[in-house]
Chains A and B, each alone.
Chain A
Amino acid sequence: MKKALAASLLALTFAMGGVAQAEPVKIGMITTLSGGGASLGVDARDGFMLAIEKAGNDEIEVVIEDDGQKPELAVQIADKMVQSDKVDLMTGIIWSNLAMAVVPSVTAQDVIYISPNAGPSALAGANCHPNYFNVAYQNDNFHEAMGEAANKDFKKTFIMAPNYPAGKDSLTGFKRYYKGELAGEIYTKLGQTDYAAEIAQIRASGADSVFIFLPGGMGVAFTKQFAQSGVDLPLMGPAFSFSQDILPAIGEAALGVKNSASWAPDLDNEANKAFVEAFRAKYDRLPSVYAAQGYDAANLILSAAEKADVADREAFRAALKEADFQSVRGKFKFNTNNHPIQDFYVREVVEKDGELTNTIVSTAFTDHGDAYAAECKM
């Protein structure tokens, strides 16, 4: 009886056209919280939840699940979230191979997906989708920035990445802007932890510099082994290989390494200062680039929820597209393919107050989009 009464009341509210109160937004977050890649997912989640808590908006509900960095598991969780949890939005995936497994089917079911990290080229170009927004970057971007920056100092670079979608995007991106000669090009196994064979090849190749894209534990292993090998070449990479979550594990071997990103803890703007301070106060560590992206993803969603009802997908998408939020990157806007147009910086690993961190040394690109936007017909 009670139920029926509640239901009819609810129906009545809808019939009256509930303008005053927007519907609660239900967000499903699938991210990597266990296994070797967990530190990335934990940082993205912590950044995301920090923004949600700071906003104090109790109309937002977040369901978090762990994909263990396994595509098949991510697909199962996504199905569950769409079908039984009835989420309006999804976010959280770190790895490109998982994003490729989950995103196309999720967006096809009229759920909006906001990527806080993975930005595979396949989803930025011809296969772009109005329900897919990437708040981080297109995968090639960081590598493009490093390729452009490398032109200044180097003529013969050795390049290396894991053999999976983001790895391919990485080396493609680097080569797109790098004008020098390549001393060699290697694809390693994803998750490989011993690089003795590759380091020997680098030594023998006559390279004047090395560019690597090895996220998470792979970057820790390579950088340590490279420093121990006595191969004295300048090392550079995208921020993933030298992000805050792994710097303490690499130790001094990372000092002086150049890496590219759209964000750094010392980036000078109000939103970023507040973010770094709040993150440190809450979690007692410095945020990584993943945490910054998670934080921006949440703020983007919050900004859209202020303006539009999530049940009205058309209006909600338009509100997202406006990107009317204070990004920790300073300025931020979406390109025609729902990927960011932003600045990219070269950072250097330094020791500050007894702690390893990244500091900005130069700007590689200003208002840089991506190479695939033209192929996206949306």
Chain B
Amino acid sequence: MSLTLLIEQILNGLQFGVMLFLMAAGLTLIFGVMGLINLAHGSLFMVGAFACASVAAWTGSFWIGLAASLAAAAAAGAVIELLVIRRLYDRDHLDQVLATFALILIFSEGTRWLFGSFPLYLDIPPLLSGAVSLPGGSSYPIYRLAVIGVGIAVAVGLSLLISRTRLGMRIRAGESDREMIAALGVDITTLYTLVFALGAALAGLAGAMVGALQSVQVGMGEPVLILAFVVIVIGGIGSIRGALFGSILVGLTETLGRVLLPHGLGLFMEPSAAASIGAAIASMLIYILMALILAFRPQGLFAANG
């Protein structure tokens, strides 16, 4: 395996990780601030992708679609917070899991009812199509570089939001002691709705960006959701910094494992068997990673509340 190929694969891992970060950030924010496990986060990812695909098909512009995906996911987030999630804050995690699982089913069937069972078409915008040359003679798609750029921008933006703004101060306060900030006169219910809509918008953004690369179809959010949970367990529940590091760690492990394992096994095995065994081990790799981290650091790498 050449160095240029390795660099390309590291970029691929980074891009995948950054995309996971957009999912994991919202998930961990909602858990950190409100103590809520939201299984329906993957559905918001799907809402973003469907909104982007249908609006882009209607208007002919990916960018309007992207804006629509943010708006639709944030709106869907706010609506489910008002109608369902709000009643769950004081319940235990099992009730939350059940109710938000029901939301997955409702979103999936609702989307199927609206758009049908067949995948939708969404392509990357002409501005971002094509590839740039990498040093060493290889090339890399501009769109994937843009995804990395957006992910980094969101990470910086979120950390500024949380450390520098009034809203961020309230979010941090809400994380540590929700009764106290309510007593200080902060409107905690509005704060929760805002945080939930923000997390939903991030998921929707991820869905729209990924939708242009993959297929926009019902159920596309669940596999990503599982990985996002792995990320926040590794990174430390409730920590944005943990979500960022966890995402990149999972992205790189998954991508490089998928490439290097079959290659490595191929050195002393028949190629067909190496491909099949390598693929099987590679698909377990991130769960092995998670198990190892849980064994040595049960609170995750960057636990939020101590």
Contacts and interface: CB of A to CB of B under 8 A. Distances in A.
Interface of A: 33-36, 38-39, 42, 163, 168, 171, 182, 185-189, 191, 193-194, 196-198, 200-201, 203-204, 217, 220-221, 224-225, 228-230, 245-246, 248-251
Contacts of B217: 36, 38-39, 217, 220, 249
B119 A186 contact: no
Q: What 5 pairs across the A-B complex have the smallest Cβ distances?
A: A220-B215, A249-B119, A187-B279, A221-B214, A217-B215
Given A34-B109, A251-B123, A186 B262 contact: yes
Describe B's contact surface by its main secondary structure: helix
A193 B16 contact: no
Of the listed residues B15, B117, B141, the one surrounded by the most CB atoms of chain A closer than 10 A to its CB is B117
B118 A245 contact: yes
Nearest to B213: A225
B219 A189 contact: no
A249 B255 contact: no
Nearest to A244: B118
A191 B210 CA distance: 15
Contacts of A246: 118-119, 215
Given A36-B220, A168-B276, A187-B275, A248 B118 contact: yes
A171 B272 CA distance: 9
Given A34-B112, A168-B276, A187-B279, A193 B220 contact: yes
B8 interface: yes
A194 B129 contact: no
B218 interface: yes
Contacts, number: 129
Contact of A35 (B1, B214, B219): B219
7 contacts: A35-B219, A38-B218, A187-B276, A194-B214, A196-B141, A196-B144, A200-B9
B275 A200 contact: no
Interface string B120-151: 11011000011100000011010110000000
A204 B215 CA distance: 25
A229 B213 CA distance: 11
A252 to B, nearest CB: 8
A39 B117 contact: yes
Contacts of A250: 121
B280 interface: yes
Nearest to B6: A200
Contacts of A245: 118
A157 B215 CA distance: 25
Given A185-B275, A194-B16, A251-B123, 20 more contacts: A34-B108, A38-B112, A38-B218, A39-B119, A42-B118, A163-B279, A163-B280, A168-B276, A182-B271, A193-B220, A197-B12, A197-B255, A204-B1, A217-B215, A220-B214, A228-B124, A229-B141, A230-B139, A249-B121, A250-B121
B155 interface: no
A204 B9 CA distance: 11
B138 A203 contact: yes
Contact of B214 (A39, A182, A224): A224
A182 B275 CA distance: 13
Interface residues of B, number: 51
Contacts of B131: 229-230
B5 interface: yes
B59 interface: no
Nearest to B7: A200
B293 interface: no
A36 B219 contact: yes
**A185, A186, A200, A221, most chain B CB atoms within 10 A:** A200
Contacts of A200: 5, 8-9, 12, 138, 259
B15 A34 contact: no
A36 B46 CA distance: 12
B217 to A, nearest CB: 5
B5 A33 contact: no
A137 B216 CA distance: 29
Contacts of B8: 200
A228 B132 CA distance: 12
Nearest to B131: A230
B129 A228 contact: yes
Contact of A230 (B130, B210, B218, B278): B130
Give the residue among B13, B120, B272 with the most A Cβ atoms within 10 A. B272
Contacts of A229: 131, 141
**Most chain-A Cβ atoms within 10 A of its Cβ — which of B5, B130, B280?**
B5
A228 B214 contact: no
B223 interface: yes
B258 interface: yes
B108 A163 contact: no
A230 B215 contact: no
B56 to A, nearest CB: 12
A197 B2 contact: no
B124 to A, nearest CB: 6
Contacts of B165: none
B283 interface: yes
Nearest to B215: A220
